[in-house]
Amino acid sequence: METVAVENPYGLQAALSQGGIIAQSIFGILVIMSFVSWYIIITKYIDQRKVLGEAKELEKKFWTAPDIKTGAAKLDKNSPFRQIADDGLRAADHHEGRLTDKIDQHEWVTMALNRSSNSVNSRLQGGLAFLASTGSTAPFIGLMGTVIGIYRALINIGLAGQASIDKVAGPVGEALIMTAIGLFVAVPAVLGYNWLIRRNKDVSEKINNFAADVHGALVSGARIATPGPMAAPAKPAPAPAR
């Protein structure tokens, strides 16, 4: 016996068609927010992974070179570490000038490297504000669709004079669908934001450490070793027994 597919009168398609332009607009906004959020999460993860991979190669590519300029040439042109090294070299080479007569080389290089590392960190933060905004506003946008769906259900009840299931199920189903879509958009955005922020802290630490090492190499002529953990104080020798 052949089965006939029956269209679901309470599904997403029916909810959008019955909800009109308002429900369709809310759904479109949530879909756009979801796509943009996933795009930011994926691209930022790729960028962070690239920077962390480059940080692991610094010892082999950069610090084994005879000087900063040669080491910078070994790095990728689009690498943030290359940008920091180049900015430090330019600051060290162009210290003489009217604008820097009253600033010593140490302070001038420090300012240049701070600006460079801050610029890199700002680029790493790009797009995260959209994730935070999506996570905080998507549930309310979905709630707007919920309110409109309940309003339509009340109108149908008033026009019919009774709360029959066929008059209420459609608008209430539309309301629940919009709420679910809002949560579906918001939850990945919040989780992605927190995850990327945590990874950004690690990336920012490596960027700042590299800038400090470059500063030490430019000013003192050698890389300043990072101090290790402090040794525990030696215990006093026990007093001789009497």
pLDDT at 232 over 50: no
The per-residue pLDDT for range 135-167, each reduced to its tens digit, is 999 988 888 877 777 777 777 667 766 656 665
Q: Is residue 134 part of a domain?
A: yes
Q: What is the mean pLDDT of residues 193-210?
A: 90
**224: Cβ contacts below 8 Å, ≥ 6 apart:** 212, 213, 216, 217
pLDDT at 125: 86
Predicted local distance difference test score (pLDDT) of residue 191: 94
The three-point CA angle 57-125-63 to 5° equals 20
Q: For residues 1 and 223, which has the higher predicted lDDT (pLDDT)?
A: 223
Q: Does any domain span residue 212?
A: yes
For the record, the structure tokens of 149 come out as 């769906």
Whether 242 is in a domain gets the answer no
Q: Give the mean model confidence (pLDDT) for residues 120-145.
A: 88
Q: Is 167 a member of any domain?
A: yes
Number of domains in the chain: 1
Query: Does residue 147 sit within a domain?
Result: yes
For residue 17, being part of any structural domain is answered with yes
What lies within 8 Å, CB to CB, of 36 at 6+ separation is: 130, 134
171 has pLDDT over 90 = no
**% pLDDT > 70, the chain:** 69
Handedness of CA 128, 129, 135, 141 (dihedral sign): negative
Structure tokens at 215: 């500063």
Residue 15 has pLDDT above 80, yes or no: no
Residue 68 half-sphere exposure, CB side, CA atoms within 13 Å? 26
In a domain, 53, yes or no: yes
Residue 5 is assigned to a structural domain of this protein: no
Report pLDDT digits (tens) over 33-66. Answer: 999 999 999 999 998 998 888 888 888 888 888 8
The boundaries of the domain holding residue 29 are 12-220
The whole-angstrom separation of Cα 113 and Cα 216 is: 11
